[in-house]
A = this chain, B = another copy of it.
Amino acid sequence: MTALEPRFSDYLAEINAALSDALTRFGAAKNRSCGSDAVLEAMRYAIENGGKRIRPILTLVFCELCGESAQTALPFACAAEMVHSYSLIHDDLPCMDDDDMRRGKPAVHIQFGEAMAVLAGDALLTLAFELLLGADAPPERRVTAGQILANASGFCGMIAGQAMDMQNEGEKADLETLEATDARKTGALIGAACDLGCIAAGASDAQRGAALAFARDLGLAFQIQDDILDVTADSATLGKPAGSDWAQDKSTYVSLLGLSDSRAQVQTLTARAKQSLAVFGQNSAFLCALADALCTRTN
């Protein structure tokens, strides 16, 4: 993502440091062993696995677009990433998607066993709320942020998406079902990440609306690009087996729309996402570049 440097790397470094710090700080919070070194180790393995940190970066950028420093939104950003990380751990479990590899490394349940994977996921979800609620922000904003995160990741959001995704397997879902699934499975948390940045900055309703519109289009474009890469990239680039969705005989945007129309759709959605940012004026250049980078990415 060279067009985004050095700003992208700065965000990334800030987020990685804050995530690592949160695990250390809360683990030692009571000046005594917290009793669960094994759980902490699995949490750290999951968190420090080299993710792209798209969600927390969106939180920081929207906070800045709405007039506050990125630092203000850092605990909210880390909370969003912890929720994302927990969802990957649980989704990879044998009883769920049964994925042994995650970003080129053994999944948490392969590395630490299934019980520890369930517990580490539970613990990251719980810590997300503890971290967010301990942010240096007015209590009203912390309450709103916690509600947004819970709603997006709960049984009408991300969890519903995962349930629907598993139900779709072998059922040859149509386009409407696929979009409804992805809006919950990945879209809801991406939207929440953008909204959390707005909330941290005390944004207006117009700003929050623009952020959510941006997130909706970007989230779908991101998902379609995922499906495109699943058939066009090789496994080494992806860090997971290429063609795995096809192998499972699952509906994808590519299987429903074809490769060419899928690519066109990514273009259209990305353009519309960028248009939503007009309310933020010239300041949105970085975010436009980020949207472009995400939708032309190769892994």
- The chain A residues found within 8 Å of chain B, CB to CB, are 26-27, 29-30, 34-36, 38-40, 43, 86, 90, 93, 95-96, 113-116, 118-123, 125-127, 129-130, 133-134, 138-140, 142-143, 146-147, 150-151, 153-156, 159-164, 166-167, 180-181, 184
Copies of this polypeptide in the complex: 2
In Å, the complex CA distance between A181 and B33 comes to 12
In this complex, what residue of B is CB-closest to A131?
B150
Q: Which of A133, A134, A154, A166 has the most CB of B within 10 A?
A: A154
Are B126 and A159 neighbours in the complex by a CB distance under 8 Å?
yes
Are B154 and A38 neighbours in the complex by a CB distance under 8 Å?
no
Chain B residues near A119 (CB-CB < 8 A):
90, 155, 159, 162-163
Chain B residues near A122 (CB-CB < 8 A):
86, 90, 121-122, 125, 159
Chain B residues near A96 (CB-CB < 8 A):
115, 118
In Å, the complex CA distance between A222 and B248 comes to 49
Question: B36, B140, B162: which contacts A159 (Cβ < 8 A)?
Answer: B36
In this complex, what residue of B is CB-closest to A183?
B35
